[in-house]
Structure 1
């Protein structure tokens, strides 16, 4: 573990500690999606159980990541999970030191913080819903999610349903290319747009086998860089593009009129989408999160199967 990783000093749950010590497959899960900032109750609790079960069913251990009482946790008890479900304070990678120094009660981790803490404890696979990216109008606002740099600077495979649909997806792909992140499409030729299977943008590289994904991580040109594996939402759960485009436009216009900026944009937009789709976005969210967790677990199992056993 590096000096930087030691400084974070995450607390591991017993099952995660045992899995890592024994060379088992572990999948990190961000906690924002399971909080009030990700999905409304009781859907957030359902998402948590669905994702944990999906990881378990594939033979891996789920490690939900959060800040509790000023300490980073990788893997949570049931009591800890109940606290996360009520969480209302986001923690990005930049906030980790502040959250520890100020002793935050509950901090739910975003993609960037989760990737950083996963790397710190030796977890190489992470599952989420959709990553952040380059926001529309970023040429004026400069609003680019810290998720992208975190993926570029930690050797972790991030499994997602693409970037959130209300972002500037062409520029997000361009940014990932600039920072050297391999972007893969799981059994799919198109970059997903969260609620829809295709954004109309071709994914740089299609992959159809778990071992190929593992080999991409092993063979990448920049050892510190992660890999982005994009998984389209299951066909039966997709929201038609014609419907979601109109909803996104209305939600973005509303956020602009309300003066919503920075980290507040995503929860605001997601809440508006839920209302405008009359709740249809919630089951779509659940389906893609569960699907991503299952694929991530398959990758994690393949990764440890190809690795040498841990030193005794």
Structure 2
């Protein structure tokens, strides 16, 4: 791995670092705004007092922290592929460029010694998984990767109830941040309760330190941070677009890994950009919170 000097210095000095996925840059946000937003996400981490470490594979080599040239390459190149853990070795052997998902970001972050990761929405169990077995690799990876993922729940296009069941089965604890309800990505409340809650970054950091004492830090941890009320989508519009998007995907035969980008693009078009605005708002919020948790964890030793 190639660790950016600023990130390496922070890790050596035990200063707070937050890992950031890059798939949202290359595949989750529209061009040309994606590069600007990527820089804003890193700035949000800095505003919270931590060092950002955007992770990607560049020229076959995992990079923990990107300089601006590499960040621009990931944001603008048409040859960047979305890479999960299973794809990393093949892409590295071929010398390609890859934008990391939550799963691969968590893998490389843990290998570098980074404990806190910020993203938009966690992957999960897809609707109809009883027949398709379609489940994000994020879940299995987190079951054996000891990072805390700050997210706005799972994408609302997924089966939220089934995802929560899988998280429980895989020993991945879910904690609501200032909420007793699991967020619904574009919506603050998915309608499903969470079993645990913290109300400050310091309380979240206490959990991280308790995990280390108890030896349960080999498992991932989800800190579910709901989108702010002023930023969430209108629920009626959300439900209408989701139903129409699922029907369009079924009619077009879109399945597997192609389903999520299809539905996100459908949301973007049909909501006239409202979904993208919500996505940006929640990612920036998660980045700030992740930084505050990393700072509190570093301060506690």
Q: TM-score, normalised by structure 2?
A: 0.96
Of residues 67, 74, 78 in structure 2, which corresponds to 1:77?
67
Gaps of 5+ in 1: 1-9, 308-312
Specify the alignment match of 2:89 in structure 1: 97
Q: Quick check: 1:129–1:160 contact (8 Å CA) kept in 2? A: yes
1:216, distance to aligned residue in structure 2 (A) = 2.0
Specify the alignment match of 1:302 in structure 2: 296
1:86, distance to aligned residue in structure 2 (A) = 2.2
Of residues 227, 230, 233 in structure 1, which corresponds to 2:227?
233
Q: Is 1:260 aligned with 2:254?
A: yes
1:126-173 superposed Cα distances (whole Å, 9 cap, x missing partner): 000001100000000000100011122111000000000000000000
Question: After the TM superposition, which segments of 4 or more aligned residues of structure 1 sit over 6 Å from their partners?
Answer: none
Specify the alignment match of 2:282 in structure 1: 288
Specify the alignment match of 1:128 in structure 2: 119
Specify the alignment match of 1:270 in structure 2: 264
Instruction: Supply the distance in 1 between the matched residues of 2:137 and 2:204 (Cα, whole angstroms).
Output: 24
Q: Quick check: 1:151–1:228 contact (8 Å CA) kept in 2? A: no
Q: Is 1:86 aligned with 2:76?
A: yes
1:275, distance to aligned residue in structure 2 (A) = 0.4
Instruction: Supply the distance in 1 between the matched residues of 2:296 and 2:261 (Cα, whole angstroms).
Output: 34
Specify the alignment match of 1:217 in structure 2: 208
Instruction: Supply the distance in 2 between the matched residues of 1:12 and 1:246 (Cα, whole angstroms).
Output: 44
- What is the total number of aligned residue pairs between the two structures? 296
| Superposed CA RMSD | 1.1
Instruction: Supply the distance in 2 between the matched residues of 1:100 and 1:137 (Cα, whole angstroms).
Output: 33
Q: Quick check: 1:47–1:289 contact (8 Å CA) kept in 2? A: no
Instruction: Supply the distance in 1 between the matched residues of 2:155 and 2:138 (Cα, whole angstroms).
Output: 12
Instruction: Supply the distance in 1 between the matched residues of 2:189 and 2:131 (Cα, whole angstroms).
Output: 27
1:212, distance to aligned residue in structure 2 (A) = 2.1
Q: Quick check: 2:209–2:297 contact (8 Å CA) kept in 1? A: no
The SS at the match of 2:52 is strand
Specify the alignment match of 1:201 in structure 2: 192
Equivalent positions of 1:163-202 (< 5 A) are 163-202=154-193
Q: TM-score, normalised by structure 1?
A: 0.92
Q: Quick check: 2:82–2:98 contact (8 Å CA) kept in 1? A: yes
1:180-226 superposed Cα distances (whole Å, 9 cap, x missing partner): 11100111111001000000111221111222212323334633101
